[in-house]
Structure 1
Amino acid sequence: MSQTRKKTSSEGETKPQTSSVNKFLRGSKAESRKENNDLKITDSQPSNWIQKTAPSETAKPLSSEMELRSSMEKYEQFLQKLGKKAVNKCLDFNNCGLTTADMKEMVALLPFLPDLEELDISWNDFVGGTLHSITQQMHLVSKLKILRLGSCRLTTDDVQALGEALEMIPELEELNLSWNSKVGGNLPLILQKFQKGSKIQMLKLVDCTLTSEDGTFLGQLLPMLQSLEVLDLSINRDIGGSLNSIAQGLKSTSNLKVLKLHSCGLSQKSVKILDAAFRYLAELRKLDLSCNKDLGGGFEDSSAQLVMLKHLQVLDLHQCSLTADDVMSLTQVIPLLSNLQELDLSANKKMGNSSENLLSRLRFLPALKSLVINNCALETETFTALAETSVHLSALEVFNLSWNKCVGGNLKLLLETLKLSMSLRVLRLSSCSLVTQDVVLLASVIQTGHLAKLRKLDLSYNDSICDAGWTMFCQNVRFLKELIELDISLRPSNFRDCGQWFRHLLCAVIKLPQITEIGMKRWILPASQEEELECFDQDKKRSIHFDHGGFQ
């Protein structure tokens, strides 16, 4: 096939064809590059994107420039219909509402895209039941590296067809089948063609209703996936029973960088099983064990190997029912993870009176950028320890203390942190029982030029702040020049009329060039303020959404 392609590309008649393709692609590629900054695959040679395919039983070579231009016109029209632009070596139809007819059009294009490297048709319901039409053409796009089929309502027949087709794309590096329930119980049918030496780097199977047998099969398969870097098995609640097999397989995936087992039915015993595998995962960067409510108590005697994860940057243990003994054990480990950048311990309410030592030792994590500790029932002593520690976290960008009532009346403990923090981008203090003096303190910090980098500020569900406090805050919020989102909503059970501070807020918003969202749920605007807001909305140069309780 490659010899045929080489031969045809040297013939005189193919040169103007390739030129016309290049002309189309160069025009569209420049526009799309801005909208696809996160694309990993780029190519400076658009002439390699669409070219004549070799003769085969299923695809005939183009014989004239007219045919090529006709195909390109259909391709361009198809993209325009879906609101898409041509991107080099990529077809991205994620969440495009593809119909059965669209699917047929897309399949008809595949013979003209032999160098396709990325195909994303996720979140399109009509893919289900029609995937065989694509898999039958897989041999024509054998260079495919990324295949995303998340939430496509795949049927059992789709799953079987996919398993047979994967053998046709040996260069595959990423496979995403998340949110397809029929994958569960059929995983061997899909991945049976993966052989030792597979180039797969990213495997995502989120919420696929995987069974314990699927987990056992996956554990046996993992040693063959030597290039695997990302494994996401989240929201598969039955695989906890096969964790022994999975953990055994993980010992052979030394290149693994991301392991996500969010909401997988893990138990206390699971911690010990995983702990035995951690010593083999020296390259791990992200570990997510969150929302496994039966995990509580498992860290008491089984977290020693966590310290082996020297390169760990993200640790997510939110909503794991951590006990006081878990916290004591983690206190000996977490501060030694010197590269840690994100730590989420939220929704572990038993931490409230037992985390003082752990929070104090977070000062030994100089790279920490995100600390999420909301809804942990912190007490005054533990909040004091956290406040003293936070002064030393100079790299902190995200600080979430929401739903910790002890913050109310004690925000002054964070005064030095708020003054010294040059990197803070997100500050969340929702439902912290803040009082007027807390908001006045925050306003004074803002006025003096601190928190200048803040982009998101959440002060919602703090209903005890009087109008004078909101006035002081709104008069100074204009100094947060980089602010994008502000939330001052009231609790669902409470409705209040906006005070005169609303006028100050409107004046401040005019001076905030980047703000797009202001949460004001359950604040009711009197008629006079309704008129002010309508006048403000008439300025079409800015698009700012005021989410408020309505007009009175």
Structure 2
Amino acid sequence: KKENSELETTDSQPEKKMEAESLGTETDLESNTAKMEQFLKKLGKKSNSRSIDLNNCRLTSTDAAELVALLPLLPDLEELDVSWNDFIGGALKPTILQIHHISKLKILRLNNCRLTTDDVLALGEILKTTPDLEELNLSWNSNVGGNLSQLLQGIQEGSKVQILKLMDCNLTAEDSESIGQVLPRMQNLEVFDLSINKNIGCNLNSIVQGLKNTACLKVLKLHTCGLTQDSIQILGAAFGHLPELRTLDLSSNKEVGGGFKDCAAHLAHLKYLQVLDLHQCSLLEEDIASLTQVIPLLSSLRELDLSANKKVGSSSENLLSRLRFLPELATLIINGCALGKDAFTAFAEASMYLPALQTLDLSWNKYVGGNLNLLLETLKLSSALQVLRLRSCSLISEDMALLASVIQTGHLTKLQQLDLSYNDSISDEGWAIFSQNVLFLKELTELDISLRPASFRECGLWFGHLLDGLTKLPRLSELGIQRWRISAPHEEDLEYFNRDHKRSIHFDYGGFQ
């Protein structure tokens, strides 16, 4: 009996030990979870064992120290975001050093954290210990510039990184070399954003050579990168190696004018391109002529932004007429393009063949005023239109009457945002007929009828009709009426509306005393 008892005791010891260890592990896990919940609750965040989002939480050095202590307790963490906490630069190095405990980390966002040079160098070492990292966002950290080679050394061959964002990082021409060297290791890269780095445009050769090895790339953003005529032509040579590219943003590079003469033909390689942003690129007539030949070949295009290119309006009747070959186009932005008679007429005719159009922005084109009737058929056929912007278009009362008739007859039923601001030439009669028909825009969420900054004007009787119409728009949340002087009776009507209809509409009517 004694032997049996001893045997039973010996056999049960490992089981009891395992049970104790399991219980201890569960207790530790519960304790760790409780600590993290308490920390996040203090910052107004909810606990998640796989994700910590401390974006814009005004973290202090004390908070950073507490986070450092907690990170080793979260081995399953996959996402860490401490972006827009610009008071903890220099205090992040200990946090970064703790990341080596988190082998499963997939997403790391450190936007606008005022990273110091030491932070950046430490991060380069830590990247070697995060083999599963899929997203790295270090945007708006100026000390990344000049230190990129040390940081990118942590990215190893066969990297899983799919998203790399380095916006406004003060990158240098030497950093361009470093980027070009690391891109061949990033064959899974899908999103690459170097926007607002004005010094890389003069040394694009290395980056372009690297891009030729990123066949999976879907999004390339080079907004405000100091691109020139020469660099845009160099970039064109990479397009044939980017068969999956969906988004191309070359906007706000004012020195590229003339570069598309020879580069535009390369765009034809981007068969699946959906978004093309060329706003504020100082396009010349020869650029537009080249684009006229290429645009119809981009049949998958869904968004096109040509705004703030003055030559579009004076020499682009052919370009705008070719829009009819883009059946999937959903967003068209051509504001500030100085559209003339021929260009606007060509656009009006082509727009009737854009059944998928959801957003149309014609703002800052004076010729639209008095000629909105040219878009009558388009407005009737645009059953998908959700956003219509006609800011500062010199609209007149006849245009408002036309718009009101289209609305009244059941068109534009899906319209959600309507911008009619800065059209000071509209008379009270024009505003009245519009106000009486606004109630038919049942999906409307935003309406802006503000006046120009230097203009002030008394509201007419039409304002009462407008308020009546608002009661029948259940989704409206924003009304811009800046610089309209509201009379005392109308002020009372506005207060009555807010009080009795219990609607959370934001009335933006500041700007006057």
| TM-score after normalising by structure 2 | 0.95
User: Runs of 5+ in structure 1 lacking a partner?
Assistant: 1-6, 18-61
Kindly indicate whether residue 445 of structure 2 is the aligned counterpart of residue 520 of structure 1: no
Look up the SS of the partner of 1:295 in the other structure. Answer: coil
Amino acid of the structure 2 residue aligned with 1:509: L
| More deviation, 363-372/121-130 | 121-130
Look up the SS of the partner of 1:521 in the other structure. Answer: coil
* Residue among 286, 291, 295 paired with 2:252: 291
* Residue among 41, 48, 54 paired with 1:93: 54
Report what 1:142 is aligned to: 103
The 2-side partners of 1:241 and 1:90 are apart by 39
Kindly indicate whether residue 217 of structure 2 is the aligned counterpart of residue 256 of structure 1: yes
Offset, 1:149: 0.3
Residues 254-312 of structure 1 show CA distances to partners (whole Å, capped at 9, x for unaligned) of 11100000000000111210111111111100000000000001111222111000000
Report what 1:309 is aligned to: 270
Report what 1:473 is aligned to: 434
Amino acid of the structure 1 residue aligned with 2:19: G
Kindly indicate whether residue 85 of structure 2 is the aligned counterpart of residue 114 of structure 1: no
User: For the Cα contact (< 8 Å) 1:222–1:252, is it kept in 2?
Assistant: yes
Note closer, same or farther for the CA distance 1:303–1:63 as it changes in structure 2 (3 Å cut). closer
The 2-side partners of 1:193 and 1:407 are apart by 54
Kindly indicate whether residue 287 of structure 2 is the aligned counterpart of residue 326 of structure 1: yes
Report what 1:198 is aligned to: 159
Report what 2:86 is aligned to: 125
Report what 1:188 is aligned to: 149
Report what 2:364 is aligned to: 403
Note closer, same or farther for the CA distance 1:297–1:550 as it changes in structure 2 (3 Å cut). closer
User: For the Cα contact (< 8 Å) 1:368–1:393, is it kept in 2?
Assistant: yes
Amino acid of the structure 2 residue aligned with 1:143: K
Amino acid of the structure 2 residue aligned with 1:515: L
Look up the SS of the partner of 2:47 in the other structure. Answer: coil
Note closer, same or farther for the CA distance 1:346–1:550 as it changes in structure 2 (3 Å cut). closer
Report what 1:243 is aligned to: 204
The 2-side partners of 1:63 and 1:276 are apart by 57
| TM-score after normalising by structure 1 | 0.88
Q: Kindly, what percent of the aligned residue pairs are identical?
A: 65
The 1-side partners of 2:116 and 2:512 are apart by 49
- Give the structure with higher Rg (CA): 2
Offset, 1:340: 0.3
User: For the Cα contact (< 8 Å) 1:524–1:550, is it kept in 2?
Assistant: no
Offset, 1:130: 1.3
Amino acid of the structure 2 residue aligned with 1:258: V
The 1-side partners of 2:391 and 2:305 are apart by 17
Offset, 1:446: 0.7
Listed as ranges, the matches of 1:344-423 within 5 Å are 344-423=305-384
Kindly indicate whether residue 19 of structure 2 is the aligned counterpart of residue 12 of structure 1: yes
Residues 212-243 of structure 1 show CA distances to partners (whole Å, capped at 9, x for unaligned) of 00011101111111101111000000001210
Offset, 1:464: 0.6
The 1-side partners of 2:425 and 2:25 are apart by 76
Look up the SS of the partner of 2:476 in the other structure. Answer: coil
User: For the Cα contact (< 8 Å) 1:403–1:429, is it kept in 2?
Assistant: yes
Report what 2:405 is aligned to: 444
Residues 361-406 of structure 1 show CA distances to partners (whole Å, capped at 9, x for unaligned) of 1100001000000000000110010000100000000000000000
| Residues paired across the two proteins, number | 499
User: For the Cα contact (< 8 Å) 1:338–1:367, is it kept in 2?
Assistant: yes
Listed as ranges, the matches of 1:471-510 within 5 Å are 471-510=432-471
Note closer, same or farther for the CA distance 1:249–1:525 as it changes in structure 2 (3 Å cut). same
User: For the Cα contact (< 8 Å) 1:232–1:260, is it kept in 2?
Assistant: yes
Report what 2:9 is aligned to: none
User: For the Cα contact (< 8 Å) 2:450–2:480, is it kept in 1?
Assistant: yes
The 2-side partners of 1:330 and 1:14 are apart by 69
User: Runs of 5+ in structure 2 lacking a partner?
Assistant: 1-13
Offset, 1:108: 1.9
Report what 2:127 is aligned to: 166
The 2-side partners of 1:279 and 1:160 are apart by 35
User: For the Cα contact (< 8 Å) 2:103–2:129, is it kept in 1?
Assistant: yes
Offset, 1:68: 4.3
Offset, 1:12: 2.9
User: For the Cα contact (< 8 Å) 1:411–1:438, is it kept in 2?
Assistant: yes
Report what 1:21 is aligned to: none
Look up the SS of the partner of 1:136 in the other structure. Answer: helix
Look up the SS of the partner of 1:133 in the other structure. Answer: helix
| Aligned CA-pair RMSD | 1.6
User: For the Cα contact (< 8 Å) 2:176–2:206, is it kept in 1?
Assistant: yes
Offset, 1:497: 0.8
* Residue among 53, 61, 72 paired with 2:33: 72
The 2-side partners of 1:269 and 1:366 are apart by 33
User: For the Cα contact (< 8 Å) 1:131–1:161, is it kept in 2?
Assistant: no
